[in-house]
Amino acid sequence: MLMMQKVMPNPGFGTFRLEGDTLKESIHAALEAGYRHIDTAQFYGNEKGVGEAIRDSSVPRGDIFLTTKVWFDNLEPQRLKESVDESLEKLGTDYVDLLLIHWPSPDNEVPMEDYLTALKEVKAVGKTRHIGVSNFTIEQLDKAVEILGKGEILTNQIEVHPFLQNRKLVERCEQHGIQVTAFMPLAVGKVMDDATLKQIADAHSVTPAQIALAWVNQRNMITIPSSTKARNIQSNIAAFDLVLSESEMADIAKLDRKERIANPDFAPTWDE
């Protein structure tokens, strides 16, 4: 496996479906536990709260790797740039560390060349330090690299957990030198009920969730688990100190059943 220099702190803290006081308290708990990577998106509707939580924390903005994502309604080039300005205003910052295309344009309504060129232009004026994509297939990723050039795309953020291991796409990302960011690493809690993960967890005196996160980490991926409980936020980051044996990794590899959770009607045609 190609080992890539991780620009993004691992793990990140995911904020999907978090809002209000719960959002702020969770971000503060994450920062206190040692997280230095916060992931949000225009679609989440919580950029303002994320920005406030970061400002209210004791951790300087410059120490935090902040990611947001452009929603597919905003991919027309001028609208993309305007939406980024709106995101920065809500977040209360002059820049984000990573700006992603959240989903490829459905049915290629906005040509990829148009919105990726606009994304690169946003980076050129300093509004983001890195750019990347999310939910891109092998074919789309190849085309994106062709448009932007090698080394421009930092990450492809995709669904990865023990029940959807996405190996072909992960391998293509590695071939391009693109870091994989795994979202939904705990399969919305389903990892807690898996017998194999429970058995491995018992052997390490940890939880199945921690085993799933350690597995993602050992596959050289960034991941962005989410939780509203301080105890789980702390145990999630502690999982990155775990080392699984080759046989344990092989047992988890057998759990792949191509169980996709994030599959909206505008999703691309997925790789097998």
Q: For residue 44, indicate whether it is catalytic.
A: yes
DSSP string, the chain: -------S-SS-EE-TT--HHHHHHHHHHHHHHT--EEE--GGGT-HHHHHHHHHHSSS-GGG-EEEEEE-GGG-SHHHHHHHHHHHHHHHT-S-EEEEEESSPPGGGSS-HHHHHHHHHHHHHTTSEEEEEEES--HHHHHHHHHHH-TT-EEEEEEE-BTTB--HHHHHHHHHHTPEEEEESTTGGGGGGG-HHHHHHHHHHTS-HHHHHHHHHHHTT-EE----S-HHHHHHHHHGGG----HHHHHHHHTT---------TT------
Feature table: binding site for substrate: 102
Feature table: binding site: 102
Among candidate residues 35, 44, 95, 115, the one labeled active-site is 44
φ, ψ dihedrals at 29, nearest 5°: -65, -40
| Residue positions annotated with a catalytic role | 44
